[in-house]
Structure 1
């Protein structure tokens, strides 16, 4: 006697070796013996043979139409498979016919629900219709996915991928057909998703690839300000007009001009230095829509050739200290003796009319080390610049930073015009840099002290043990050599400065400051700013690296000088670009070497550097 039984969802046959009522010892056609439960047996038969039985049953099952079988089940009640087999074949079903019906019922779960051993129930019409529709959908999707993979393997971008490119590149839905097809094609080609899409022509601009990644994550709603109302910006009517002649000093690309300077002679060789800061906080009320967008952005984002401003252009134009325009300003006046020591300070809100917006590229021709050595700055503001220079030297000495090593560091200016990059080195600590930085350090430290002394909350930057911290408590900044330091001088570019200026303006006007030290919003802004500022800085450095690589390609540079930083890390000459050189021999730091540049990859922002030789200096 043979049995047809079910084991773990699979139909099997075997010859009975021993029948123990509740269990059977059976032998499979290939000779393997097994113990099965009697309850697993679906039918018993003597013929045909074991080897023929399954073949006949499978072949018969393939000829059975599940849809027709389903139509044969008129009742919504459960039914036995052998009863359906008898109705279908029109006679008492043979063992192989009964097995065929069981196999077919079991293989069509959309049509028949299993209810027990050999018992089933026909699916309701609506449920079957939905299941069949789902099956058809999956079939079409499988065909679609196969077509996608085939096109991608041929480095052809499917038309359906075009509106989904940003998501596929930066934020893929890993359950989507498109991503599954892309993943399959990547595995076959051994390429990353971005590299494969690039080969398909989906990344026409490597610059935009990196920019869009940043925007997708940090500006998902775009960089436009939308329908913000900036038409009602208004400033206090009681602001006096200052009797000074201020001028600003900025890079040629700067539009957010938030500081200017003036020098007014006093008696007996003394003079008054004015540091004038733009005051956008006068027109942007706390918790207003304009304030909300500034608090969301937290800082202007800079990258070579472009920027994403913290404030809308209309607000910037209303408050930027452009020449020949009357603008509100938060001014600090320093009364300076003839030995350049400060003997009095005062702060006030007023209006100023900037006489000139001086730019680095043209000012540096007149205001430089050579002119200062000669004691004559040939410029319309030459006397003022010379006075500011001597004051800056005095303040630098007071801070104990006369031999500041930062003055020997090199900064780089990036200028992108019509996709052409120019990178110019510029030594940090030039007369222009020193004048501006010393005046900013002075007012940020002094205004921070005024906030602290008045018990008004502010956000401070401190440094100790080599670590920079940001907090609401004033503390020494060892790197700058000041007792406290609060960013206040760039309110159009940094939200921390904006908050501190708002507090200081309230103090000067005798109003209640918007924030206390315990304000949850102040703590939240501080934490968010620190995080955003780090992210924006990383992005700026990433884009500067991109343009450095573009410059190497543009100038067709294959070999260049470099200086060893440590171990196999070098910095390229004339570029803010560092690289690992695996072939670099063991040489001391600051050794000058020549390296070979190859395999520049603008997508991955990588290149290969090979050691050529040491350069004698």
Structure 2
């Protein structure tokens, strides 16, 4: 052992030089910092037998590296030989410099006993790579210093933020920067950092991307774009003599339903999308993947190619092809007979507010009476009616606009007509044994008796939390929440994929063609439900994001919040003006439906959390449902 590791010999320990101080069962070595350590002989590598009296004696040397590389082009040498070639001597300092050249691997490579030279081109490439790495390392160090000291970032810092952006968008689970800063690696924390360093601003909404949503229009290849036949020449019922009204929010771009009244027959007309989008076509598959149209305050991503809405949207052209549901009503508005027919209609497009002003005129007065009677029948059958404050959020010219939506009778009129059509379509499919996507919802009680309706916002909030989720399947069953024995949806085939599937089934049946079988319907339901859940989640989170942005731009906001759920010194309030729920702290024991005056304190945009101070207004208001 003494011969192998003489005292004062130079050895390698953990890639660093060390001097052997003494030799026993273990070696005592002195490190480059002057401290000593006992190690096993197998843990060190002999570099030079010495003598060396201090590691500090090792000094940098220069040699003719390129010439030596040429000499060793096709041969190998050991460490002492290479040292002699490079420096003309074999001192401990020279041999340590030689070993450093070997370990850095640019010009030489190998072991102590067999060292080779890299070809000149390879050496040049390795040297360039080392210099580039050193430059990158220095750039990262400078970037990190700017982050830690709060200095403005430079354009070249963008690359260092790529994995942080990817984490903020939930495309990866790791960020080198967050790890270095000791910050929890979550999308929200990454978002917060990007805002803090001003690489992102409030106008970047990460939530659709996090959910995995496609925010662009369908990109159907040119060769497979849907061909839209001249449906006006199809075998259709001519209903153009009846006034048909497509009633929507202002700015709606995909009108897919309209209503008409023909004596005691109520017509609900729906865009005949299935005439152009057939099962397994490119447009059908795209719609299946999306599940539904995505509505965000900043954009709309349609489920179907925009050309289909332009061609088949009701009222987009003078004459519109439709699939019409004719419901014959008795004197109290009960449906006694129905038929489904392809049709041609002449549509007038109206907004809810326009119709609201004409509710005392026919046909809207008569339609309203039908809607009220249908709503009362559903109430008597056990339906539950929950009405929360609603708002419309839009982004216009870098401004967030939040508009309260009034509870208009015209909205109820249209909603009841659509429910009547969907209920009738479900009964039509059941009677003819057509495989169909039925929508069901279990209730807290099986009886069809009228239930006590929640009256206040707090009662409605609590009731909604207890509602069973709706289910979609091929077996019809009651929808307790709507008070119907069977239900589906058929009135939005431009916007909801399963509505389109229902239309495809009805169209095939009416034309005497083969319908999709039950297994194919189940397959479509399964493929669509996850997509729809993602779409709704993206919409919900995006609406909250833009509400937070609105509040950040209205730092002095004050408004009312109604207590709908309470706990120990804190509870949930609904803020009608914003269509927002939020957590607040309060003093005392306020009752549910208590109205607080809220003052905005701060907004945590990445966490989607607003913070308010709760005060008590001078007057109380009633917040029972009208």
Distance across 2 between alignment mates of 1:173 and 1:399: 44
Structure 1 residues 100-119: Cα deviation after superposition (integer angstroms, max 9, x where no partner): 35543554333332335x54
Q: What is the CA–CA distance in structure 1 between the aligned matches of 2:274 and 2:514, rounded to whole Å?
A: 15
User: What aligned pairs does 1:97-496 form with structure 2 within 5 A after superposition?
Assistant: 99-100=95-96, 103-116=99-112, 118-149=113-144, 155-160=151-156, 169-170=165-166, 193-198=190-195, 201-203=198-200, 206-207=202-203, 209-210=204-205, 213-214=207-208, 218=212, 222-223=216-217, 225=219, 228=222, 229=225, 232-235=228-231, 237-242=234-239, 243-265=241-263, 271-304=264-297, 306-322=299-315, 325-354=318-347, 356-367=348-359, 377=360, 379=361, 382=362, 384-401=363-380, 406=385, 408-414=387-393, 418=397, 419=399, 421-427=401-407, 430-465=408-443, 466-496=468-498
SS of the residue corresponding to residue 479 of structure 2 reads coil
CA contact (8 A) 2:69 2:118 kept: no
- Which deviates the most, 235-244 or 597-606? 597-606
Give the whole-Å Cα distance in 2 for the aligned partners of 1:546 and 1:25. Answer: 65
Higher RCO, 1 or 2 (CA under 8 Å, sep at least 6)? Answer: 2
Per-residue deviation at 1:333? 1.5
Task: Give the counterpart of 1:36 among 32, 37, 41.
Answer: 41
Q: 126-135 or 66-75: which moved more?
A: 66-75
Cα separation, 2, equivalents of 1:548 and 1:175: 25
Q: Which residue of 2 aligns with 1:559?
A: 558
Distance 1:556 1:42 in 2: 69
Measure, in 2, the Cα distance between the counterparts of 1:415 and 1:264: 38
Equivalent residues of 1:303, 1:544 under 8 A apart: yes
Per the TM alignment, residue 409 of structure 1 is displaced from its structure 2 partner at its CA by 3.5
Is 1:612 the counterpart of 2:615? The answer is: yes
SS in 2 for 1:518: helix
Give the equivalent residue in structure 1 for 2:19.
13
Give TM-score, length-normalised by structure 1. Answer: 0.80
**Unaligned residue ranges in structure 2 (runs of 5+):** 1-5, 444-467, 621-626
Instruction: Give the CA deviation at 1:518.
Output: 1.4
1:506 deviation in Å? 0.8
- Taking the aligned partners of 2:579 and 2:98, their CA distance within structure 1 comes to 75
CA 1:552–1:77 in structure 2 vs 1: closer, same or farther (change >3 Å)?
closer
Q: SS where residue 406 of structure 1 aligns?
A: coil
- Are residues 41 and 137 of structure 1, via their aligned partners in 2, closer, same or farther at CA, if it must alter by over 3 Å? closer
* Deviation per residue, 1:556-592 (Å, 9 max, x gap): 6543221112122111243311111134544332222
Cα shift at 1:460: 1.7
Question: In structure 2, what is the equivalent of residue 268 of structure 1?
Answer: none
- Distance in 1 between the 2:366 and 2:357 partners? 18
Write the mapping of 1:478-517 to structure 2, written as runs, cut at 5 A. Answer: 478-513=480-515, 515-517=516-518
Take 2:258 and 2:171, find their aligned partners in 1: how far apart are those partners? 56
Aligned length: 571
Where 1:110 maps in the other structure, the secondary structure is: coil
- Please identify the structure whose Cα radius of gyration is greater: 1
Q: State the distance in 1 between where 2:238 and 2:614 align.
A: 63
SS in 2 for 1:304: coil
Shift of 1:454: 2.5
Q: 2:383 touches 2:482 (CA, 8 Å); kept in 1?
A: no
**Is the 8 Å Cα contact of residues 164 and 176 (structure 2) preserved in structure 1?**
no
The superposition leaves residues 326-360 of structure 1 with CA deviations (integer Å, 9 ceiling, x where unpaired) of 11111122222223233222221121112x32321
